[in-house]
A and B are shown apart, each in its own frame.
Chain A
Amino acid sequence: MREFVVPALLIAYLAAYVAQVRGLPIASTLYPYLIGGAIGIGLVCVLWQQARATRASQHSGPADAGAADGAGIAPDSDATPQATDTTSGFEGNGLRALRLPALFLAACALYPAALAAFGFVLSTTALVAVLLRAFGGERWLRATLVALGVAIVFFLFVDRLLGVPLPRFSYAVLPLGL
């Protein structure tokens, strides 16, 4: 089932795309439709290759199964020895190994929203403290102090030295009825 994840997502994107551009004149949709068609043909080829690899691995037994699976892996899928080990580590630990990436992703997805409301220093302190705690096992107090230092250094460098205005704390987020 794993090999259907990306094709399924791509088909969903293509369907959403078509729904979005419906109503536009052909002059502006011809090019995207051509590209979409190319993606469709490519996906059929990918699925056919995967079906063939699965059939080959079933016929030739477990020894060759790995080779058959590897047939579809592009070189820039980090085919270095360490990266391969990592991938197998993911497979072995299953969902548990995905816990930290999921936490990291969730924290980073919340950060831009927090930035607009709480400003750069507070949001960055919270993000860095959570990540230091999650990845380094630091105690909360230490993690928070280090995070505050990091946030202030970044703020001074980017906002003051480079002149890029970073978001400030907005009092509107406080329930003061102002």
Chain B
Amino acid sequence: MIDFDAVAQSLALLFLPHNLTWLLLGFAAGVVVGAIPGFSEGSFLAMVLPFTVYLDPWTALIFMSAVYMAAEMAGSYPAILINMPGTAGTFATTIEGYPLTRRGKAVGALGCSMTASLLGGLFGSIVYLVAGPFVAHYALAFGSPAMFMVALLGVTAVSSLSEQSLAKGLVSGALGLLIATTGIDPIVGKPRATFGLIGLYDGVPLIAALIGLFGFSELLRLAGERGGTPGGRASADWTSDLLEGCRGAFSHRWAALRSSVIGVVIGIIPGTGAATASVVSYGQGRQWARAPRNFGKGSYEGLVCSDSAKDACVPGSLIPTLALGIPGSGTAVIFLAVLSLQGMHPGPGFWGEHLKEAYAIGFTFLISSLLILLVCFPMVRQISRIAYIPSRLLIPLVSVFMFVGVYSYRNSSFDMFVMVFFGALGWLLRRHGYSPSALLLGLILGPMMEQNLSRTMALGGPQLFVTDRVSLVLLGCVVLSLVAPRLLARRTASSTRSGNAGSPPEAEDLR
């Protein structure tokens, strides 16, 4: 179990003045990086990677851990305020956060998001510290069939996202899966569905598509609505809004706990990340919710599901990175690079050899989560003002912001065209009742699904989906996730017809 000597030594290491300074600098940099749409923590960490060789290895890792945690948390700000996901893990946050902002509840949404991030981050950090070395070995139980089922489970969350038209939700999700096949074919190495565009050989750039589908399409909508602000009318009493948001998060503490567990587990599974964690958790949250129809309209519960999971995923993703040498997420790859640059080799013996340092990383996550309370909560009113900038100023400024963010990711003008294309597509889909969220979900999970399907076929054929125990359990969850919402909806409809209709369900349930 926990080695308390190592814990004490790790805290002593962490509280050395220069380490603490780098932790605070990392947190500040992470908040800025997360709040800039398109400018992911991964690209920032990649940019500063060459400079980390001049730092003590553990100072570098403490700095990077603080950036990672803070950026994931701050990615929710633009998602909530201007419908523009700051990081890939925050697209489910836009679904619930932005409608709250549109109702003048930007401060409440931020308060709820920060509380959920705090809970998720604390849970993830504690799991990392207590169970990290042991849990990592169970991640190996997830073979290709199980990984395919994880992706499929994420896609069946599409049905949850599109409550009233399952068909439109599934069409949108499948379209995302099909678009995700664009690029060099993994089997024969030839371009597939690239339509002669060299820029698509590496596949559709996810960040550009994400910002286009959510941010750019929102600007198009605002452009058709002369005047006004994204945030509607600001509430005068911001403290009560903030408290309402925090209460909203605490009143869904079980949803937060469940989402945190999902976040940590998905973080531990190699090759996934915060985007998958938040999507799967959001989909599951809707199925377990008392009032699932409020999801998608600005529900605190939905916001809790998304934000707890993505922040709990951060410490989880470092568990396999350090214990197995397999990155738990895209950003964790940079951690592996730093360790390699410093001449260290993560693997099964890593926790034994560097226990003190591994704990120091865990405590960095813990302290970064607590810094949300000290730094971000007092600034919530200032942050929320973004939502009340008039559209006539917001549209030009945010346009440039998005273009710069998309360009900076790969230094590619082509990505900007992709963003505009997906913006127009998202706007069109939304106007016709289709689901841009489902499309994006397909885009995110598509490569993982295809890769694991091919691998399963090569390993032993489709029967592996039912002979592999983990896969079988997940298959059951997939079937349940498709059938359960329909049954629940029917039950709700029949109870409404029998006389329960008329009372406004949303007001209380949205809390």
Q: Give the B-binding residues of A (Cβ under 8 A).
A: 2-3, 5-6, 9-10, 13, 16-17, 20-21, 24-25, 27-29, 31-32, 35-36, 38-39, 42-43, 45-46, 49, 70-83, 86-87, 89-90, 97-98, 100-101, 103-105, 108-109, 111-113, 115-116, 124, 127-128, 131-132, 135-137, 147, 150-151, 154, 158, 162-167
Are A32 and B434 within 8 A (Cβ)? no
- Using known A-B contacts A76-B161, A78-B99, determine if residue A17 contacts B193 with beta carbons closer than 8 Å: yes
Within the complex, which residue of B193, B224, B232 is in contact with A97, where a contact is CB–CB below 8 Å? B224
Nearest CB of chain A from residue B446's CB, rounded to whole Å = 8
Nearest CB of chain B from residue A93's CB, rounded to whole Å = 9
Question: Is B283 close to A, CB under 8 A?
Answer: no
Are A35 and B181 within 8 A (Cβ)? yes
The residue on A at minimum CB distance from B409 is: A164
Contact with A along B157-175 (1 / 0, CB 8 A): 0000111110111110011
Within the complex, which residue of B171, B431, B437 is in contact with A10, where a contact is CB–CB below 8 Å? B171
CA distance A75 to B407 in the complex (A): 32
CA distance A57 to B400 in the complex (A): 45
Count the B residues whose beta carbon is within 8 Å of the partner chain — how many? 78
Are B298 and A105 within 8 A (Cβ)? no
CA distance A154 to B407 in the complex (A): 13
Q: Give the A-binding residues of B (Cβ under 8 A).
A: 47, 95, 99, 102-103, 161-165, 167-171, 174-175, 177-178, 181, 185-188, 190, 192-195, 216, 219-221, 223-226, 232, 293, 295-298, 391-393, 395-397, 399-401, 403-404, 407-408, 411, 413-414, 416-417, 420, 423-424, 427-437, 450, 453-454
Nearest CB of chain B from residue A39's CB, rounded to whole Å = 5
Are A86 and B224 within 8 A (Cβ)? yes
- Using known A-B contacts A32-B178, A39-B175, determine if residue A73 contacts B165 with beta carbons closer than 8 Å: yes
Kindly name the residue among B192, B295, B404, B435 whose own CB sees the greatest number of chain A CB atoms within 10 A: B404
Kindly name the residue among B195, B392, B400, B416 whose own CB sees the greatest number of chain A CB atoms within 10 A: B400
CA distance A6 to B435 in the complex (A): 12
The list of the 10 closest CB pairs from A to B, nearest first, reads A75-B296, A136-B392, A42-B171, A45-B167, A112-B416, A131-B396, A73-B433, A74-B162, A164-B408, A135-B392
The residue on A at minimum CB distance from B158 is: A74
Are A31 and B181 within 8 A (Cβ)? yes
